[in-house]
Each structure stands twice: as structure tokens, then as C-alpha cells.
């Protein structure tokens, strides 16, 4: 193992009925003024809003609502939330939703206590704003991103055409009730689960590759995601599968798989930029990108791709060479994406504006190049990958 420091800030309450059982106890630790943040309204349709609101009222909180947080949250929405939090003297932000709501609130929490612009401070000046954020709690209603267990928020700056990660508030607590995910449209369930698989793969295919316990745990998480996605294909509402996927999601982004590793995340950087131009669904964009990206890098990480084919996909070597076995693993990944009804081509994505060749070129050349990929990408090679994905 490489040297590491590990500390964990988020207390997790997991399981059916967790909001009723545990939310009041957490709320008692904070002041009266709560910002209740949510997305486009799913929590009002499925009863989660009523359940959370009744606990807030029982606890005597003054609730300010901050709704309408969109998938792929914008920096303008962050500023709207921060202005509201400042104006109302908010003591706790409660994010109720998926990665988009939680991510938006992480940055709202930081912007609300700082006058300097968070984007400018972090991405231009390269430093965190000085004042600590407003405390944040997360109630997860759709799993996949694992956002509830880390401090990064992925935000789209529409003016700059950049979708990228900022550091904000890591949730002090997170409530994960798998029952809350039952109303999520099935395509989104599979998209979220693929996002989890992607997080695990992006970490697995990162250095170093010498024997380390993080990669062993990672293989178990990847196998669990694949097995449980398959269970959901036959029974959309299987509680055990939903609950396993919810914890897989948190496990893939809570830092445990990353201990002692330098992660890749190049496929994520490509997808994020594609998202900035098209507003495409995150997990679906990743599904279309991963196989092509891996065909470009597998020769530089051959032994690990062989291990992936063998340990994750259970492919027998037979008379295959290392390269053939590694390729068979990537082919199996692509077949699994199709089996799950996820897009294998960018042309299958639902997008705001049609994807043109010129757009792909702009996406490619504005993508952040990751230093830890087996093969260092160039804008030109990313452009080739994106064209292959069409
Ligand atoms: O907005 P509402 O009405 O709530 O509808 C949402 C949204 O349309 C719906 N939904 C959520 N819970 C539901 C539900 N519908 C019915 N019943 C429920 N219980 O699901 C849709 C998608 O929600 P969203 O939050 O956008 O999905 P997800 O959790 O996949 O988050 C995606 C965002 O997270 C970022 C992505 O880039 C994207 O912007 N990511 C954040 C990461 C992090 N902070 O660690 C890591 C990831 O790699 C990712 O980049
Ligand atoms: Zn992701």
C-alpha cells in the first residue's frame, strides 16, 4: 500500500424507515433555520417531502424551501441558493434528492458564508474560500453518484460552458433509505448504478497496480453492482438489490476504494464536458464513453485489464493471449451496458441540442486531461474516442 491519511466526516443512517427513526436526532444538533432543498418535484409526488416536512415541523424548525434544482445543477442555481441561505440566516441545509441536489447544496453551503465567488476562488486563484460552510445534511432519493459521502460538487457553469467539480461542504450526516428509490424511473436507476460501476472502474484502473487491499474491495463492489443490476432487470423493485446498489454507490465514492490509489477519472472528465454542451444524463453519457476509452488505453494497462476480465467478468482464458483476454473483458462490459438498456452510442442520448462533429471537437479540446490515466490523453485522441462513440 502507498502511504495514506484517512478520515471520515459523514455519519450514515442506512435502511428502511431511517428518516422517521433518525432525522429528528440529527436536527436537534443544529439551529432553528433550515433550508430544505430539492429538485424538480419528485419528492412531492412520492411522499418523501411530506415525511421530511413532518419531522422538521415536529422539531420546531423554521423551514425555507429551495426547490427546482435541476439535473446537472448550474452555477446560477448555486448563487440563487446561497443568496437565500444568507438572507434567511440558515443554520442547516437539508438536501433531499440525488447527486444534483446534494452537489448544488455543497457549493451553496460554502458560498453562503463567503463573499468571494467560489468558482473564481477555487478554479482561478486555486484556493478554498476562508470561511467554513453552513452545515449540510443529505437525504438520498436516488442512488448512483455517492455524492452524499464526499465534499465534491459537480456544477455546470453555463456562461463558461464548463461542467466541473468544486469543493464544498461534505454532508455531516446522510440518510439512505432504499425504499425512497422505488419511485425512480427505471432508466435512471440503471444509469445511476452504471455511474457507480464507472466510479469503481475509474479507481481500479488507477495506479499503483501492485497488491493492495483497495483493488480487492473494489472488485467485490464491481461484482455486486453487476449482480444487483441484473437482479433489477428481472424484478425492478427487489429491495435487496436496491439496498445493495445504494450502499455500492456510497462505497464507490466515499474514499475507501481510493485509499492508496491515484485515480484515473478521464472518462468522467470527457462525460462532464459533454454534459456541459448537451445537458445529457451523467450515467448514460458514461455508458456510451467507457468501452471506447478503454479500447484506447488497455495496452498500457494490460495486466490490470486482464485481471478485470478474469476477476470481474469471470472470463476463462482458454487459448487467448493477454491482449485478447483484456479485449474480451471490455467487450463484456459493452454487452452488459446494452443488456441493461443503457446507451452504447452517444447518438442514443437524449440531448438539449443535436451532437455535431464541431461540438465533439469542442468537447474534446476543452476536456480536462487527467494525469493518472494509463495513457495520457490528448485533445485529438479524445476527439477520436468521441467520434467512435457516435
Ligand atoms: O429533480 P427531481 O424531480 O427530484 O427528479 C430527479 C431527476 O430528474 C429524479 N429523482 C430523484 N429521486 C427520485 C427521482 N424520481 C423519482 N423518485 C425519486 N425518489 O431523478 C433524476 C436524476 O436526479 P439527479 O440528482 O440528477 O441524478 P444523480 O444522482 O445521478 O446526479 C447526477 C449529478 O451528479 C453529478 C453528475 O455529474 C450530475 O450532475 N455527480 C456527482 C458526483 C459527486 N458529487 O460525487 C460524482 C459523479 O461522478 C457525478 O459527476
Ligand atoms: Zn459519476
Please give the residue range of the domain that contains residue 159. 11-180
Q: Which atom of ligand 1 is nearest to the CA of 38?
A: 4
Q: Give φ, ψ of 257 to 5 degrees.
A: -70, -20
Ligand nearest to the CA of 281: 1
Which residues sit opposite 68 in a β-bridge?
none
Write the CA distances from 355 to 236, 272, 345, 360, integer angstroms.
32, 15, 12, 7
The backbone region for 227, taken as left when phi is positive above 0, alpha when psi lies in -120 to 50, beta otherwise, is: alpha
Q: Give φ, ψ of 12 to 5 degrees.
A: -110, 130
Residue 55 belongs to some domain of the structure: yes
**How many separate domains does the chain show?**
2
* Nearest alpha carbon to residue 96 among 72, 67, 73, 71: 67
- Number of residues that make up the chain: 390
Residue 1 belongs to some domain of the structure: no
**Are both 126 and 148 inside the same structural domain?**
yes
Give the C-alpha separation, 203 to 191, whole Å.
18
**Are both 170 and 253 inside the same structural domain?**
no
Give average pLDDT by consecutive 10-residue segment, the chain, 390 residues.
89 97 98 98 97 98 98 98 98 98 98 98 96 98 97 97 97 98 98 98 94 97 98 98 98 96 97 96 98 98 98 98 98 98 97 95 98 96 98
Query: How far apart are the CA of 141 and the centre of ligand 1, in A?
Result: 9
Query: How far apart are the CA of 317 and the centre of ligand 2, in A?
Result: 31
* Nearest alpha carbon to residue 182 among 229, 228, 230, 243: 243
> Which residue's CA is the closest to the ligand 1 atom numbered 15?
184
Give the C-alpha separation, 28 to 13, whole Å.
15
pLDDT value at position 353?
87
Residue 6 belongs to some domain of the structure: no
Query: How far apart are the CA of 154 and the centre of ligand 2, in A?
Result: 9
Determine contact, residues 190/184, Cβ cutoff 8 Å: no
**Are both 274 and 296 inside the same structural domain?**
yes
Determine contact, residues 273/286, Cβ cutoff 8 Å: no
**Are both 49 and 136 inside the same structural domain?**
yes
Match 424511473 to its residue by C-alpha cell.
Answer: 185
* Nearest alpha carbon to residue 283 among 157, 197, 384: 197
Question: What is the domain-level CATH number for residue 149?
Answer: 3.40.50.1970
For 27-65, give the DSSP string.
HTTS-SEEEEE--SSHHHHSSHHHHHHHHHHHTT-EEEE
Determine contact, residues 78/108, Cβ cutoff 8 Å: yes
**Are both 272 and 339 inside the same structural domain?**
yes
- In this structure, what C-alpha cell is assigned to residue 363? 468537447
Q: Give φ, ψ of 229 to 5 degrees.
A: -65, -40
**Are both 207 and 159 inside the same structural domain?**
no
Burial of 155 (0-12, 13-18, 19+ CB in 10 A): buried
Q: Which atom of ligand 1 is nearest to the CA of 181?
A: 19
Residue 243 belongs to some domain of the structure: yes
Point out the domain boundary residue: 180, 215, 231.
180
Determine contact, residues 91/142, Cβ cutoff 8 Å: no
**Are both 137 and 196 inside the same structural domain?**
no
**Are both 145 and 65 inside the same structural domain?**
yes
Write the CA distances from 359 to 192, 288, 347, 362, 366, integer angstroms.
25, 16, 13, 5, 11
Ligand 1 neighbourhood includes 193 CB (under 6 angstroms): no
Point out the domain boundary residue: 180, 197, 227.
180
**Are both 105 and 64 inside the same structural domain?**
yes
Point out the domain boundary residue: 145, 180, 215.
180
For 74-100, give the DSSP string.
BHHHHHHHHHHHHHTT-SEEEEEESHH
* Omega prior to 128 cis, within 30 of 0: no
**Are both 167 and 204 inside the same structural domain?**
no
- In this structure, what C-alpha cell is assigned to residue 23? 432525522
Residue 316 belongs to some domain of the structure: yes
Ligand nearest to the CA of 195: 2
Question: What is the domain-level CATH number for residue 256?
Answer: 1.20.1090.10
Please tell me the pTM assigned to this model: 0.97
pLDDT value at position 44?
98
**Are both 108 and 231 inside the same structural domain?**
no
* Nearest alpha carbon to residue 245 among 229, 230, 223, 268: 229
Q: Which atom of ligand 1 is nearest to the CA of 152?
A: 44
**Are both 223 and 242 inside the same structural domain?**
yes
Give the C-alpha separation, 21 to 51, whole Å.
11
Q: Hey, is 371 helix, strand or coil?
A: coil
pLDDT value at position 1?
87
Residue 27 belongs to some domain of the structure: yes
pLDDT value at position 342?
98
Amino acid at each position: 500500500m502507498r502511504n495514506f491519511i484517512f478520515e471520515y466526516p459523514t455519519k450514515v443512517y442506512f435502511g428502511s424507515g431511517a428518516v422517521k427513526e433518525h432525522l429528528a436526532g440529527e436536527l436537534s444538533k443544529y439551529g432553528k433555520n433550515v433550508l430544505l432543498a430539492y429538485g424538480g418535484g419528485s419528492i412531492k409526488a412520492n411522499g418523501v417531502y411530506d415525511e421530511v416536512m413532518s419531522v422538521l415541523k415536529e422539531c420546531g424548525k423554521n423551514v425555507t424551501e429551495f426547490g427546482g434544482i435541476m439535473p446537472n445543477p448550474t452555477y446560477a442555481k448555486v448563487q440563487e441558493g446561497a443568496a437565500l441561505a444568507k438572507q434567511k440566516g440558515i443554520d442547516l441545509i437539508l438536501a433531499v434528492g440525488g447527486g444534483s441536489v446534494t452537489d448544488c447544496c455543497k457549493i451553496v453551503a460554502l458560498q453562503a458564508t463567503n463573499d468571494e465567488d467560489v468558482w473564481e476562488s477555487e478554479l482561478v486563484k486555486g484556493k478554498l474560500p476562508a470561511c467554513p460552510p453552513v452545515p449540510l445534511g443529505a437525504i438520498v432519493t436516488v442512488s448512483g453518484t455517492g455524492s452524499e459521502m464526499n465534499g465534491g460538487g459537480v456544477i455546470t457553469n453555463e456562461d463558461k460552458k464548463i461542467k466541473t467539480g468544486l469543493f464544498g461542504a461534505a454532508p455531516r450526516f446522510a440518510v439512505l433509505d432504499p425504499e425512497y428509490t422505488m419511485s425512480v424511473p427505471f432508466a435512471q436507476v440503471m444509469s445511476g448504478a452504471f455511474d457507480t460501476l464507472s466510479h469503481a472502474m475509474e479507481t481500479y484502473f488507477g495506479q499503483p497496480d501492485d497488491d493492495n487491499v483497495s483493488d480487492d474491495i473494489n472488485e467485490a463492489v464491481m461484482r455486486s453492482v453487476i449482480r444487483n443490476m441484473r437482479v433489477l432487470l428481472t424484478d425492478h423493485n427487489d429491495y435487496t438489490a436496491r439496498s445493495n446498489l445504494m450502499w455500492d454507490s456510497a462505497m464507490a465514492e466515499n474514499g475507501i476504494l481510493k485509499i492508496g490509489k491515484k485515480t484515473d477519472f478521464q472518462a468522467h472528465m470527457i462525460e462532464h464536458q459533454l454534459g456541459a454542451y448537451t445537458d445529457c444524463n451523467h450515467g448514460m453519457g458514461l455508458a456510451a464513453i467507457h468501452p471506447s476509452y478503454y479500447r484506447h488505453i488497455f495496452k498500457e494497462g494490460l495486466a490490470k485489464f486482464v485481471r478485470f476480465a478474469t476477476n470481474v467478468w469471470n472470463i476463462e482464458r482458454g487459448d487467448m493471449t493477454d491482449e485478447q483476454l483484456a479485449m474480451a473483458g471490455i467487450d463484456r462490459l459493452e454487452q452488459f451496458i446494452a443488456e441493461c438498456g443503457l446507451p452504447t452510442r452517444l447518438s442514443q442520448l437524449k440531448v438539449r441540442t443535436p451532437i455535431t462533429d464541431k461540438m465533439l471537437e469542442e468537447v474534446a479540446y476543452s476536456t480536462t486531461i487527467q494525469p493518472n490515466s494509463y495513457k495520457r490523453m490528448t485533445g485529438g485522441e479524445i476527439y477520436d474516442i468521441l467520434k467512435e462513440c457516435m
